[in-house]
Amino acid sequence: MSFYWVNLGGTHEEVKEKQFLWAPHDEQRRLKHWDVVGQVKEGDVIFCAYGTYVQHVAIAQADAFMAKRPVTRKKQNEADFGHQVNIVFEQNAQPVLKSQLAPDFLNRFNESCSTKVFTNKGVAQFYMSQLSTEAGLFLLETMGLSNSPIDTLVDEGSQRPVEITEREALVLARIGQGVFRQELLARWNDSCALTGLRNKALLVASHIVPWADATNEERLDVDNGLLLVVHMDCLFDRGLISFADDGELLLSNLLVEDDRKVFSLASYKGISGLTEGNKRFLGRHRKCFGYDV
């Protein structure tokens, strides 16, 4: 299952009434944000933005296919054929303001989109962008829809049927609970791996490689986890800090000096006792967020 964002301008009412998306396909004028429509598969999730809101969540009813330009579309510079996706709307989705999404999305997900969704001034000008799985789950949760897609991702993460007890453990692991959290508490002696803080109410069982980007085995692997105090988990989750193979604390260039002082980052050298498994997962974390180590 993949996730997409589509900006609906003048076609909004047509999309609502006819329940399809269409973008031109022109061999002479290839535009990435048009061509991405052709990648959509049956069951993929599409977030439909219009005006100041992300208004709808749509589900692709079949793979994208080539279709004639809708008669309602003016010719202008559009090709006669393009990619079409037939959709249905999730009725229980709760519209959310783009401005509400922007800060978190910019910090956490924007760089992983096929076309960046947000600029510092608002939503970028494009038709469709493919999102990372983490970005998709973030939007689903924000719009009040999360259970069914998570079940789908659990099934996709295994080559065999997933038993009920394993499914429950995987769902709990996504929110840092259950067996995954208990094993991390034991691994790190009930204390933050970086700061040493021992208040369990403030400790987060954090995945190194995000749950959505991991296999089921990796989602429950204690080596794919760090026990971090809540503010350090927030920095780590957004890639604003990471760790070298020797445990050294690495700081993103996005953290200005005042940020570093507020979080007292100069007080912490890094993490000791990383396993070989931790190092493998941290290598993927650094690569994801552009650390040159």
Same domain, 162 and 259: yes
Same domain, 126 and 226: no
Q: Which of 74, 104, 132 is the last residue of a domain?
A: 132
How is residue 228 annotated by DSSP?
A: E
Residue type at position 110:
N
Same domain, 163 and 244: yes
Same domain, 68 and 99: yes
Same domain, 122 and 180: no
- Say yes or no to pLDDT of 282 above 80: yes
Nearest Cα residue to 7 out of 53, 70, 45: 53
Residue type at position 63:
D
Same domain, 79 and 164: no
Cα separation, 282 vs 234, in Å, equals: 16
Q: Which of 86, 102, 132 is the last residue of a domain?
A: 132
**Model pLDDT for residues 125-137, shown as the tens digit of each residue:** 899 999 988 888 8
**Does a structural domain hold residue 19?**
yes
* Mean pLDDT, residues 51-55: 92
Residue 193, token pair as written in the block: 């791996």
- Say yes or no to pLDDT of 83 above 70: yes
Residue 42, token pair as written in the block: 């049956």
- What are the residues whose beta carbons fall under 8 Å from the beta carbon of 11, sequence distance 6 or more? 73
Same domain, 161 and 284: yes
pLDDT number for residue 78: 62
- Say yes or no to pLDDT of 264 above 90: yes
- Say yes or no to pLDDT of 212 above 70: yes
- Say yes or no to pLDDT of 156 above 90: no
Average pLDDT of every residue of the chain: 89
**Does a structural domain hold residue 279?**
yes
pLDDT number for residue 147: 64
- Say yes or no to pLDDT of 238 above 90: no
* Mean pLDDT, residues 241-270: 94
Give the domain extent around 123.
3-132
- Say yes or no to pLDDT of 76 above 60: no
For helices 178-187 and 164-174, the axis angle rounded to 10 degrees is 60
Q: How many domains does the chain have?
A: 2
**Does a structural domain hold residue 190?**
yes
**Does a structural domain hold residue 225?**
yes
**Does a structural domain hold residue 67?**
yes
Q: Are strands 65-68 and 81-89 parallel, antiparallel or unpaired?
A: antiparallel
Same domain, 206 and 124: no
Same domain, 201 and 272: yes
Higher local confidence (pLDDT), 168 or 39? 39
**Does a structural domain hold residue 143?**
no
**Does a structural domain hold residue 249?**
yes
CATH, residue 123: 3.10.590
**Model pLDDT for residues 216-230, shown as the tens digit of each residue:** 999 999 999 999 999
Same domain, 165 and 212: yes
pLDDT number for residue 108: 82
* Mean pLDDT, residues 182-204: 96
Same domain, 176 and 50: no
Query: Which pTM was predicted?
Result: 0.71
Same domain, 154 and 124: no
**Does a structural domain hold residue 8?**
yes
pLDDT number for residue 203: 95
* Mean pLDDT, residues 284-293: 84
Q: What end-to-end distance do the CA atoms of the chain give, in Å?
A: 32
pLDDT number for residue 185: 96
